[in-house]
Amino acid sequence: MRFYLSTLAGHRRGVLILLGWSMLEGVPAFFGGKLVGTAVDQGFGAGDPQAGVLWLLAFAALAVAGALGQRQVFARLGSVVEPMRDALVTQVVKGVLNDPTHRRTPDASAVAMITRHVEVVRDATAGVLVQARALLVTTVAALIGLATTAAALIWLVVLPIIAALVLFGLMLPSLAKRQRDAVMADERTAEASGAVLTGLRDVAACTASDEAYEDIATQIDQQARASVVVAWANSLRATVIAIGGFAPIVLLVAFAPPLVASGQLTKGAVLAAVVYLTNSVNPALHGLARTTSTVVMRLMVALKRLQEAAPEKTQETGRETPSNGEFVLKDVTFGWSPDAEPVVRGLSLGLKPGDHLAVVGPSGIGKSTMASLLTGLMPPDFGCVLFGGAPVDLVDPAVRHHAIALIPQETYLFTGTVRENLTLLAPWATDEDLTEAVKKVGAKPLLDRLGGLDAPLGHAGEGLSAGEAQLLALARVYVTSASVVILDEATSHLDPAAEARVERAFARRDGILVVIAHRLSSALRANRVLVMDGGKPLLGTHEHLLQTSPLYGQLMLAWDPTRHEETPLPRR
Ligand SMILES: Nc1ncnc2c1ncn2[C@@H]1O[C@H](COP(=O)(O)OP(=O)(O)OP(=O)(O)O)[C@@H](O)[C@H]1O
């Protein structure tokens, strides 16, 4: 708002010129009633129609002068409004491009949204300058004209108008709120439908069209309700103004005859008062009501939305930038509810690029929970998870989502070509990149069997075995630029040899690899092993843990590496 006002103030000269021409525009409003009254008193009423016509011609000449003034106002409007729009656009677009939460890729949708608001501000400012200014000049001119022509009637006219204006002023805050609610409802509908539109493929893949329909329908209903409320508020406002404008005429008709009979007023003065009321004051009041409900409200709401969308008001989360690719976990404890037993207790751990960690423990002990803490999906209850020195859940999501990839056991594939499925997280990847990734994870025979990158995949990877689907999900992450890869039993449907190949491929890739082990052989391939058994997790090399962790020793004893199919880890 401050910037908006200072931009307008910067064009003070243009605004003053507009006001100057407005004076000329107000001339007919000031003299109109007086000239018509004189035409009656000194012309038609005094038996001299020629003089009456001359007075009316004078009125017509002034009306032409007023029209010229109005023309100049429109001609000058652009010189005030356009520079203001340019300054606002420059300011907000710069802000979005430098927004710390969108450091990697400037958010085009945010730019589009706020430039749209700027357009509304420009139109509304023009509307205010044209209408509110004209209303002010006309009303003041007409009321002064009325006071000088028919002073005895001035209070009859002014009091109802003041009452209507006060009532109208009292209604304004609730009108503004309703108008804003309607704008917000409008935006929510656009957001909901936009989200469904951009995620149409995922909606279809997850057979969630009913939920998507429900989401949009709810927003449309709310929007409709908000619009009806605005319409009611506007009609109430119009009624108040109509009464305020109509009451003076009724009072005039009621009180004027005795004043004329007693000689305090001439007939021409009464007609002049009627002309002032019907030609200037009443239209001005209706215009005020219309302008306020549409133009001023739109201006206020657009400025408010602009301020909310402005990047300096960034949210508390998503501001941090990691300084390197290292993880540090300090005394991390997490439970799924305040009353529940923590599933992760006092976990401390450091991970550097090149590290390969295996996490082992019985089923249901908290391994996936720990993976979620690493990705920043939720913050720990106690302790901290730092990624590049910043709490991982506060890292700019755009950075975090590129840097950390988690592959779960359940595979997400959608209807589309193999290429579309593989480039989901790396749209920039070339066919060579994709083929290389496919080879690295051992999925080349599968790709050949499917018929190459252009081969279609059915709904949710129909026709693929669970292991084949996992291979494609692994290749999809291999091709990304993620520097931290977490495999959460992501190879559970592969045979041990294929699993070993995948883990080795990811271990050779730059960055950190965390494998939540489905089989104990994963522990033998890792540099370090984290054993989770419900207490404080133990961390060490395979050899160290064999000596220090009874659970790890038991798990290894129960494991028979000579068997082709290993025994999966026991349940908790
Ligand atoms: N979203 C959740 N809400 C509440 N409790 C959860 C949630 N997710 C997991 N849990 C509980 O937290 C505990 C640890 O689950 P988690 O999935 O982390 O174990 P896990 O070691 O990965 O098991 P598995 O090897 O079977 O995948 C379990 O008791 C589980 O029921």
Ligand 1: centre distance to CA 344 (Å): 10
For position 411, which CATH number holds? 3.40.50.300
Query: Domain check: are 361 and 286 in the same one?
Result: no
> Which pLDDT score is estimated for 153?
82
Section 363-381 average pLDDT: 92
Is ligand 1 within 6 A of the CB of residue 518?
Answer: no
Query: Domain check: are 368 and 299 in the same one?
Result: no
Tell whether 12 is covered by a domain.
yes
Atom of ligand 1 nearest to the CA of 370: 18
Count of residues for the chain? 572
- C-alpha to C-alpha distances, 355 to 352, 425, 527, nearest whole angstrom: 6, 23, 7
Query: Domain check: are 511 and 455 in the same one?
Result: yes
pLDDT band, residue 1 (cuts 50/70/90): low
How many structural domains is the chain composed of? 2
Tell whether 35 is covered by a domain.
yes
Query: Domain check: are 530 and 401 in the same one?
Result: yes
> Which pLDDT score is estimated for 109?
63
Tokens, residue 12? 């003070």
Is ligand 1 within 6 A of the CB of residue 341?
Answer: no
Tell whether 333 is covered by a domain.
no
- pTM of the complete model: 0.58
* Pairwise pLDDT comparison (408 vs 320), residue with the higher score: 408
CA atoms within 13 A on the CB side of 56: 13
Query: Domain check: are 286 and 360 in the same one?
Result: no
Interface predicted TM-score of the whole assembly (ipTM), two decimals: 0.96
Query: Domain check: are 507 and 441 in the same one?
Result: yes
Tell whether 265 is covered by a domain.
yes
The answer, yes or no, to whether residue 56 has pLDDT greater than 90, is yes
Listed residues 309, 339, 362: the one ending a domain: 309
Exposure pattern of 66-76 as b/e (b: 16+ CB <10 Å)?
beebbebbeeb
Is ligand 1 within 6 A of the CB of residue 492?
Answer: no
pLDDT band, residue 136 (cuts 50/70/90): confident
Section 112-124 average pLDDT: 80
Is ligand 1 within 6 A of the CB of residue 364?
Answer: yes
Is ligand 1 within 6 A of the CB of residue 369?
Answer: yes
Q: What is the CA radius of gyration of the chain?
A: 38
Section 5-21 average pLDDT: 79
Tell whether 386 is covered by a domain.
no
Tell whether 20 is covered by a domain.
yes
- Secondary element (H or E) of residue 145: helix 133-149
Among 40-44, 164-168, 543-547, which is the least confidently predicted range?
164-168
- Each residue's pLDDT tens digit, 172-198: 888 878 888 888 898 889 888 988 988
Query: Domain check: are 132 and 196 in the same one?
Result: yes
pLDDT band, residue 488 (cuts 50/70/90): very high
Ligand 1: centre distance to CA 157 (Å): 76
Query: Domain check: are 302 and 420 in the same one?
Result: no
Is ligand 1 within 6 A of the CB of residue 519?
Answer: no
- Each residue's pLDDT tens digit, 302-324: 777 677 655 544 444 456 778 78
Which sign, positive or negative, has the C-alpha torsion 287, 290, 294, 300? positive
> Which pLDDT score is estimated for 99?
54
CB 325 within 8 A of CB 403: yes
Is ligand 1 within 6 A of the CB of residue 572?
Answer: no
- Each residue's pLDDT tens digit, 231-276: 898 888 878 877 888 888 888 888 888 888 988 889 999 999 999 8
Average pLDDT, the chain: 85
The answer, yes or no, to whether residue 58 has pLDDT greater than 90, is yes
The answer, yes or no, to whether residue 373 has pLDDT greater than 80, is yes
Query: Domain check: are 296 and 421 in the same one?
Result: no
The answer, yes or no, to whether residue 94 has pLDDT greater than 80, is no
Query: Domain check: are 141 and 225 in the same one?
Result: yes
Query: Domain check: are 10 and 145 in the same one?
Result: yes
Task: Decide the pairing of beta strands 512-516 and 356-360.
Answer: parallel
pLDDT band, residue 101 (cuts 50/70/90): very low
Tokens, residue 72? 């100049």
Nearest CA to ligand 1 atom 14: 366
Which residue range(s) make up the domain with 429?
354-372+396-558
The gap from C-alpha 440 to its chain's centroid, in whole angstroms, comes to: 41
Section 103-108 average pLDDT: 51
* Pairwise pLDDT comparison (458 vs 433), residue with the higher score: 433
The gap from C-alpha 402 to its chain's centroid, in whole angstroms, comes to: 22
- Each residue's pLDDT tens digit, 547-572: 888 888 888 877 756 544 455 555 54
Section 357-361 average pLDDT: 93
Listed residues 309, 330, 345: the one ending a domain: 309
Tell whether 512 is covered by a domain.
yes
Query: Domain check: are 156 and 302 in the same one?
Result: yes
For position 161, which CATH number holds? 1.20.1560.10
The answer, yes or no, to whether residue 103 has pLDDT greater than 60, is no
Tell whether 518 is covered by a domain.
yes
